[in-house]
Amino acid sequence: MGLLIDGKWHDQWYDTKTTGGSFKRAEAKFRNWITADGTAGPSGSDGFKAESGRYHLYVSMACPWAHRTLIFRQLKSLQDHISVSVVHPDMLGEGWTFETDEYGATGDNLFGLTHAHQIYTRADADFTGRVTVPILWDKQRNTIVSNESSEIIRMLNSAFDGLTGNTDDYWPQELREPIEAINARIYDTLNNGVYKCGFATSQEAYDAAIDPLFDTLEWLEDLLTEHRYLLGDQVTEADWRLFTTLARFDSVYHLHFKCNRKRLIDYPNLWAYTRELYQWPGVAETVGMHHIVRHYHYSHDTINPSRIIPTNPVLDWTAPHKRVSAASAP
């Protein structure tokens, strides 16, 4: 995971020496919004109107943050309106590359470039910052709209409704306050918490992250005893933000990131809930388990210097989940 400094690539890992061994995630630098009429969103500039064929999404099948955007592209019927390029799972000295493979890495379908960092410098020749996915690209203005996944999924949730006729709402006005509260806890302790554990370089940093992570999993297990989804009987963005972490838990985070107190399958409600979301129409095809397992184990040589890809548990994602709404429960 390198970065650009004044537009020049540097193969430089996260600095944990100044944080007592703790992993600190950098904030996204591009924060514009696509809106239905092109007016400015909550941040950034105006001019990014929702139009069919105008935008391109760069993703990794391995990355949980990019995975969110692929799911929303499916949920909101945007496959014919927003094109996609998928990076190769091996992220080595020059970061994400556009090599191809038989498991879904497509190459750069837009410019034929070789590395993701070239997309950033195409938008800003002097860019300084981490080169991350997802990247939402505007073909018309030849720039990056956003590289912040939490905001991209909210754009996809509503900006294109007039084009697609799909008005499914995963960020409903009446639930926004509780969604934000749940998102905040899950992001800090679980979505990002697995990285705090895995990228910790001191025992103190690991110990500080691991207990909140499993406290949150226990809390979720109890919550899902009463609710079908996190906010009741309605699926919201909070569920999809959680799903991309749970989908990787047993195959990657449990072993590779030392989150091994329990497995996902040891939580009956969480495991059934995760299977239900996996079985949601269109979602399974966004789950690239080969890329997920290979990326983490092969790319993180500070954790796995031998780059051995482990054999993994065989999980039955298609087993009946038997989740029912609270209203229909006996």
> What residues act catalytically?
63, 195
CA distance 3 to 9: 6
Query: Rounded to 5 degrees, what are φ and ψ at 135?
Result: -125, 120
Taking the alpha carbons of 208, 211, 213, 216 in that order, is the dihedral positive or negative? negative
Alpha helical stretches, state H, the chain: 64-75, 117-123, 149-158, 161-164, 176-186, 193-198, 203-226, 237-248, 254-256, 268-278, 289-299
Question: CB 281: neighbour CB atoms within 10 A?
Answer: 8
Cβ atoms of 295 and 62 closer than 8 Å = yes
Which two structure tokens, joined as six digits, stand for 294? 């290979």
Cβ atoms of 90 and 173 closer than 8 Å = no
Between β-strands 143-146 and 55-59, what pairing exists: parallel, antiparallel or unpaired? unpaired
CA distance 84 to 275: 25
CA distance 176 to 65: 20
Give me the torsion for CA of 68, 14, 28, 254, rounded to 10°.
20
Residue 53 DSSP class: T
- Which residues, in sequence order, are bridge partners of residue 129? 4
